[in-house]
Amino acid sequence: MEPVILFFALFLVLLLLGVPVATSLGFTAVALIWKYNLGIQVLSPNFYANIAKFQLLALPFFILAGLILDRCGISKRLIRFISLLVGPVPGGLAIVAIIVGVIFAGISGSGPADTAALGTILFPAMVAMGYDKGYTSALIAGSGSLAIVIPPSIALIIYGVIASTSVPALFAAGVIPGVIAALLLIIPSVFIAKRRGWHGERWGTGREIWEAFRGAIWGLAAPGVILGGIYGGIFTATEAAVVAVFYGLFLGFVVYRSLNFRMLYGIFRDATLSSAVIMFIVAFAGLFSWTGSTLGVMDKTSSYLLSLSSDPLLILILINVVLFIAGMLMDAISIYYIFLPILLPIMKHFQWDPVWFGVVMTMNLAIGQITPPVAVNLYVIANIANISLERISRSIAPFIGIMLVALLITMLFPSLSTFLPALFGLK
């Protein structure tokens, strides 16, 4: 058991000392490779092999597409259109935030990107209508978390690569649970807003709605272009990401004419930085996973978990508790690489559907994006709102609670995740 204890203990100690997650993963892997003489020469080819995968090309392109589509003004037009439809009902702007969050999730695939796109426009509008800053920030962060469940999801791409599972099948599987989570988010949003007297803006006239629809139709069509091409067999998920980039450039330079080459430079710079961070994590997390597998750490940990109970539901609940705690402390990509090698033998033992389990795991990690202390969506919106993380944290509990309900529903009813992949012949 010495490698198992040392493997996890060293990693946890580094985290507690405040070392960044990616660095902790890499240092732990290198230290154990050196200690157990696994061959220091494996570092270079392993590092390269972890990122040199065709499916992973989708990540930088979806990041770039999300930035282009946001900067060309799609999120602003979507918010305007949905606001005119929802009108002054109690919690109207909260409903707008969730609906637009779902639509933009079908473009960006990233929780922080979705949160930033919504927060930049909706936060000032909601505060101007009297909404509390803490509640508004929590709501927008919760809406943004849907982006890693609803396709095209960067998180589901990572899961598909590690678990050798069809990415199009995972995309299809995330649709219904993602929509259910969105509908459930509306419940506390409207309840709290109604109790505090918060509402939406006015209903639009027929002419205003038509004009807003004309401006928003390109944004409404974006998820259809991306996902329709995948399920229509026109292009792969990776190729869909490239199509999304050119779709955004077409809108920005030809349709809306809101982009210029100076802005494009900034977009490419931001996309490069975001992609580099993700690939840095992927490379070191992959090395960490390889080291654990080579030393037998993952197999021994899987065997230990299976020895706790023969009840699949009890093991599933235990796994989700562990993932929930991990989601409070680490990013989703690191969690996939650390835990999936442990969980894959358990999935095989209980004959769990890997597509369904991928959605369950991703839904859990979506909750982690809004659960302190390490809640990336909360940090994004706190920066936009210029308020403390503590203030947002006081308002986030209802949204975490309702997302846990969505997770429970996804766990207990696997057909919600497997229906669409089966319908499209992806299973």
User: For the segment 237-249, what is each residue's pLDDT rounded down to a tens digit?
Assistant: 888 889 999 999 9
Per DSSP, the three-state class of 331 is coil
CA within 13 Å, CB half, 16:
6
Q: What are the tokens at 67?
A: 């930035």
Contact between residue 426 and residue 233 where contact means Cβ atoms under 8 Å apart: no
Beta bridge partners of 90: 199
Which residue did the predictor score with more confidence, 415 or 205? 415
- Is residue 156 in some structural domain? yes
pTM of the model: 0.91
For residue 121, the model assigns a pLDDT of: 85
Kindly tell me if the per-residue pLDDT of 18 is higher than 70. yes
Q: Mean pLDDT throughout 264-271?
A: 92
Number of domains the chain contains: 1
Q: Which residues make Cβ contacts (< 8 Å) with residue 419, sequence separation at least 6?
A: 176
Q: What is the mean pLDDT of the chain?
A: 90
Kindly tell me if the per-residue pLDDT of 425 is higher than 90. no
Q: Mean pLDDT throughout 286-309?
A: 89
**pLDDT tens-digit series, residues 114-139:** 898 888 888 888 888 888 999 999 99
Q: Mean pLDDT throughout 342-367?
A: 95
For residue 427, the model assigns a pLDDT of: 66
Contact between residue 330 and residue 374 where contact means Cβ atoms under 8 Å apart: yes
- Is residue 83 in some structural domain? yes
- Is residue 134 in some structural domain? yes
For residue 1, the model assigns a pLDDT of: 53
For residue 186, the model assigns a pLDDT of: 93
Per the structure, the complete domain to which residue 380 belongs is given by: 19-423
Q: Which residues make Cβ contacts (< 8 Å) with residue 177, sequence separation at least 6?
A: 149, 359, 363, 406, 409, 410, 416, 417
Share of the chain above pLDDT 70, in %: 100
* Consecutive H or E run containing 37: none
- Is residue 278 in some structural domain? yes
Q: Mean pLDDT throughout 264-278?
A: 90
- Is residue 3 in some structural domain? no
For residue 363, the one-letter residue type is M
Kindly tell me if the per-residue pLDDT of 15 is higher than 70. yes
Contact between residue 79 and residue 122 where contact means Cβ atoms under 8 Å apart: yes
Q: Mean pLDDT throughout 257-283?
A: 90
Q: Mean pLDDT throughout 41-52?
A: 85
- Is residue 395 in some structural domain? yes
- Is residue 2 in some structural domain? no
Burial degree of 115 (CB within 10 A; 0-12, 13-18, 19+): buried
Q: What are phi and psi of 165, to 5 degrees?
A: -120, 145
Cα 341 from Cα 337, distance rounded (Å): 7
Q: What number of H helices and E strands is found in the chain?
A: 20, 0
- Is residue 4 in some structural domain? no
Most confident of 73-77, 193-197, 399-403: 399-403
Alpha helical stretches, state H, 295-388: 297-308, 312-327, 332-350, 354-368, 376-385
For residue 44, the model assigns a pLDDT of: 86
